Structure 1
C-alpha cells in the first residue's frame, strides 16, 4: 500500500490545503486514538505545537478527533518537539503529538506522532493509522459517556528547562561564555534562552519574537547568516541556531563560520569516546553525512553506520545496534542517553561543555575534519517518476563508476517536498560538480516529458 499521508517525518504539507486541513487533522486524531486505545484505563494524549498561525486551527481539530475517540487531551502550547517526546513519557500518555513543519516556512505545517515510549512511530503503526484516516469514522467514535476531556497543562516549560539543565556534565558551568541563541521565532523562544542563562552564560537572544508568520524566516538553522552577523556584532564566543521546533541545531563559531551536524557529531563522539561513554563503537548517521566524517571516525577506531534520511531511521538503527550518538548533517543530533529524538538544545549543551572543559575557541574545537567536497542540488518534480526511467538509471550507473572508490553518489526523492535530491562527494571537486550537473540535467529532461 502506497503512503498517502506520512512522509519521512510525519505528515506535512501546506496548511489549509491538501492533507493539512482541519478535516485531516481531526481524522488523524480519531485514527491515532483508535490505534492507541489499549486496555481499560483512561487514555490520554499530549499535544504540543510550534508558533505557526495554523497551529491553532490544527490543534483544535486534533482535540476534536482525540476526544471523539475517547482520549483525554493535555495541551502543552508552543514547546520544542523533544519536550513533547519527553512529556509523553513523563505524563504517562498513550500518544504524543507535535504540530510542526520543523524548518519549513510558516505556510506549511505538519503532524509528528510519538508512541508512549517517546519514540516516533514505526512504519507499521503509521500504515495502520493511514488505513483509518480515510475510513468510515463511525467505528472509531466512542460512546457519549466516554468522550474525552481537554485541558491546558501548566509548568511544562519548567519541566523541560530542568530536564535540559540536567544533561550538562556535573560541575560544568557556562559562566564566562557569551552566547547568542537564535530561536527561529519558533517553539524554543522561551525555553532555550532560559536554560543557557540559568547555566551561567551571558545570553543574547534573536529570533524570539514569533508572530505566527515569521517562524524560520531569515533566521534559525536554515538561515544562519543572521546569527553569524550577531555573533560578530557582540563579539560572542559562540552562536546557537535552532529550527522552528528545536529538534535540530547548527553552531556558529566566534569567527562567524557555520558548523554543521557532521562536525558536531564528531566533537561529541570524540569527547564521549575519550570519557568511555560512547556505546556501539561509533555513531549512526544518514547517507547524506560527509565522507570526511567517516574517515575521521575510522582514524580513531570508531565506526559510522549509515541509514536512510530521516532522524527516525537513525534512531531505529541506534536502538538496534546499541549506539548512543547519532544524527544528520542538517543538525538533528540524537543523544539517546538523554532523549528519544533529536534535541537541538541538548546537543548544543554538549558542545558548550566541551568548550568549557577544553578552554579553546569554538573554531578549533568544532573543526574536527576537513569535509570532502560535497555538492547537493534539487530537481523539482511535478509529475511522473524520473528515477524509474531507463535513461536516468543508466546515467546514475555511469556517474557512480566515474566517482569510483574516492567518492559517493546519493540520489533520493525528498520525503517532505516534491523534489529529487542529487548529492555527490569526492576528493576532486571539479569532477563532483560535473557529475551532479549532468545528472540534474538528465533528471530534469525526463521530468519535462513525463
Structure 2
C-alpha cells in the first residue's frame, strides 16, 4: 500500500517542507486524537521530543491538534523515544508521540506514534490516521477541548525503570564509562542512570543547542567517543543516537562495536542462563553472516526480517523471542522494553562486562564478521531501480557473488536514498560489486 505520510518509522522529513510542516503536525494530532478516542474515559496523549531546534514548533502544532480534537496532552520535554513508550503505558495514556528524526541531522524532524500498549502503531492504525489527515478534522465542542500540562518528574520515572532492568546483584563501581548522548534526548537521563549505578561517568554530547544533535557525535559518528575513551583510558564507551533508541559501543582500545556483536553477546549470555526465549535472535537482512554462524555454534537460530526495527519487533512477538535488533544499533530486549532502548541495552552490556571481569575488547568480539560493504546513493526522484542498466548491473553483481556472498539493494524508508550492500568471503570482490552497482544507480538517478 502506498503511503503519503508514514514511512518505515513514523513520519519524517526536512522541517518546514512537506510532510514535516506545522500544518501537517496539527492535522496528525487531530486525526490521531479522533482515532484513539475509544471508550468513555478522559483521553490522554503523552508527547516527548528530542533536542532539535524545530521540536518546540512541532510540539506546539501537535498540542493544538490533539487538544482541538478533545484529547488532554501530557508534555514530558526532551526524553528518549523508549521513555515515551514506557510513559504511555505507565500513565495509562491512549497514545504516545515522540517528536524526533532519530539519527538524522537537526534540520530534519519526525513524528513517531505509540499505542496504549507502548508498541508502535499497526498498519491499520497508521492507515486510518493517514485518511484522517486529509479529511475534514473532527473538532471537539468548545466545552470539551483538551488541556495540556507538563510533567516534571518524567526523567526520574524513566531512570528508575531503566535501573530496574539492570541485574540487582550487580553494580558499576570501579567502571570508567564514557557516554556520548549525541546532544540528543538522553543528555540528562543517561549519565544520571550510569552514575546512580556506581559508574565513574565521563560525558560527551551533552550540550544541545538545537542544531548540534548528531553532529560529529553519537552512534552514527563515534570518532569523538573513540578519542575520549583512549584519552581517559576508559573501560568502555557508549554511543546513543539523537532519540536514544540506538546503541553502538566502543571498547577499551577505542574500537567501535556494532549491533551484531552486541546481539551475539546478549543472546549467547541469556541462552547460557536459560533466559533466552524462542531459541534464537531476530535480526534484519543487513546483519552479518558471521552473527548467524556464531549463533549456530550454540544451537541458536538467526531469524531475518526486512530492514526496520518495526519488522524485527513484529517477528519477535510472533515467535516469542526476547532478543532482537539491527546491525545499526537498535537493540530490542522485550523483557524490559516495547521498542529499541539504547540505554537499557547498554546496561545489559555493562552487566556482562562486570560479570565476565574481562576487558571489553575481549568480551565484545563475539565473532569475526565477513567482509561487508554498504554505500548509499542519494536520488532526487523517479525510480532508478527500474532502469534497465541498473537491473543489468545488479544481475551481474549477483552472478559474481553466487555461492560466496550476497547482494542487497533497497530504498530507504526515511530518506531519498538507495542502499547497496554486499557481503562475501572475498573483500575485494565485495568492494568492486558495490561500486559498480552504485555507479549504475547514480547514472540512472
Category of TM-score, reference length = shorter chain: over 0.9
Q: Tell me the equivalent position of 1:330.
A: 328
Secondary structure of the structure 1 residue equivalent to 2:29: helix
Q: Tell me the equivalent position of 1:31.
A: 31
From 366, 373, 387, the counterpart of 2:385: 387
Q: Tell me the equivalent position of 1:89.
A: 89
Deviation at 1:103, TM superposition (A): 0.6
Secondary structure of the structure 2 residue equivalent to 1:405: coil
Q: What is the 5 A alignment of 1:30-429? A: 30-137=30-137, 140-429=138-427
Secondary structure of the structure 1 residue equivalent to 2:92: coil
Deviation at 1:401, TM superposition (A): 2.5
Report Cα offsets for 1:7-62 as digits up to 9, x if no partner: 11111111122211110100000011111111111110000000111000000100
- Structure 1 Cα separation of the partners of residues 123 and 404 of structure 2: 34
- Structure 2 Cα separation of the partners of residues 35 and 297 of structure 1: 43
Secondary structure of the structure 2 residue equivalent to 1:357: helix
Secondary structure of the structure 2 residue equivalent to 1:42: coil
Secondary structure of the structure 2 residue equivalent to 1:360: coil
Report Cα offsets for 1:386-436 as digits up to 9, x if no partner: 222334233323322321232121100011111100000001011111111
Report Cα offsets for 1:211-257 as digits up to 9, x if no partner: 11111111111110000111111110000001110000100001000
- Please report the TM-score for the alignment, with normalisation by the length of structure 2: 0.99
- Structure 1 Cα separation of the partners of residues 252 and 436 of structure 2: 38
- Structure 2 Cα separation of the partners of residues 278 and 446 of structure 1: 46
- Structure 2 Cα separation of the partners of residues 437 and 213 of structure 1: 33
Deviation at 1:437, TM superposition (A): 1.3
Report Cα offsets for 1:265-285 as digits up to 9, x if no partner: 110001100000100110111
Q: Kindly tell me the number of residue pairs found equivalent between the two proteins.
A: 445
In structure 2, the gaps of 5 or more residues are: none
Could you list the runs of 4 or more consecutive aligned residues of structure 1 that deviate by over 4 angstroms after TM superposition? none
- Please report the TM-score for the alignment, with normalisation by the length of structure 1: 0.97
In structure 1, the gaps of 5 or more residues are: none
Q: Tell me the equivalent position of 1:445.
A: 443
- Structure 2 Cα separation of the partners of residues 129 and 203 of structure 1: 43
Secondary structure of the structure 1 residue equivalent to 2:402: helix
Deviation at 1:262, TM superposition (A): 0.5
Secondary structure of the structure 1 residue equivalent to 2:295: helix
- Structure 1 Cα separation of the partners of residues 27 and 382 of structure 2: 29
Over aligned residue pairs, what C-alpha RMSD do you find?
0.9
Deviation at 1:124, TM superposition (A): 1.9
